[in-house]
Amino acid sequence: MSRITQTFLRLQEQHKKALIPFITSGDPSPELTAPLMHAMVKAGADVIELGVPFSDPMADGPAIQRSSERAIKQGVGLRQVLGYVAEFRKTDDSSPVVLMGYANPIEHMGYEAFAKTARASGVDGVLVVDYPPDEGGDLFRHLSEQQLDPIFLLAPTSSDARIATVAKLARGYIYYVSLKGVTGAANIDLAEVMARLPRIKALTKLPIGVGFGIRDAATAKSIASIADAVVIGSRIIQEIEQSNAANVLTNVGALLSEFRLAMDSLGT
């Protein structure tokens, strides 16, 4: 049983929902990536989505694009990202880590080499934005051999057939993209999310996380009332941009604590 599955089972027993923050590896600096991961866990993160910097992140809005540019300028690529996970694992062997990125860096390394190195580094799941479930068979086979969970995206435009395909192949959880656009593009449409999630849950027993457009604690609480997990990305990147090396850990931790407190208040 993967760390991701164990985490969701534990949260279910505690009647809590998962908080899944996203940061881009190497932003604001390579040496702060592992400390940021630890700070987020301390603030209440249940799963960490660790972005792999890429020069053409087509699903990401301006904030995350800028974070990738900053990381790339500092020489951060896929191998460095895997090194940050290994560093994190030296003192945290329980918090799940999901790599989120694009196909090109993985193809450059090679599917088998990537899967083996990711497993050895302590990665738990992999979300490749531009690998739909019907086109990444070789990669998914290597991930399965290394007991890594393939995470897939679903969108408001996903058909029942696509939902069923994802439900068959996915492990860990499914990431529902709440917007018909890029990250950070607009405020989330709660009514639409509430209407769509039952359709997905009818076809899978996997936890459903919702992301894109969640910018404040109140919205996170609303999403947590209907989903199994809340994914926060652009808002954290913006906090990093507005911080400096001396206060970024404190600021990001304080922001995540607000989300955690709001989500946990559902049970009170």
Which DSSP letter does residue 74 get? T
Rounded to an integer, what distance in angstroms lies between the CA atom of residue 197 and that of residue 223?
11
Q: What is the dihedral of CA 244, 250, 256, 260, to 10 degrees?
A: -170
Tell me how far apart the alpha carbons of residues 49 and 229 are, in angstroms, rounded to a whole number. 12
Catalytic residue among 27, 46, 60, 124: 60
User: Cβ distance 236 to 20 under 8 Å?
Assistant: no
The catalytically annotated residue of 49, 87, 149, 239 is: 49
Helix, strand, or coil (residue 127): strand
Specify the amino acid at residue 123: V
What DSSP designation does 232 have? E
The answer to whether residue 49 is catalytic is: yes
**How far is Cα 45 from Cα 29, in angstroms, rounded to an integer?**
21
Tokens of 196: 């769509």
Q: Which residues pair with 50 in a beta bridge?
A: 23, 99
Active site residue 46: no
Residue with tokens 């997905």: 200
Is residue 163 within 8 Å of residue 181, measured between CB atoms?
Answer: no
The answer to whether the CB of 81 falls within 8 A of the CB of 54 is: no
Closest-CA residue to 203 (of 162, 150, 155, 163): 163
3-state SS class at 15: coil
Mind telling me the catalytic residues? 49, 60
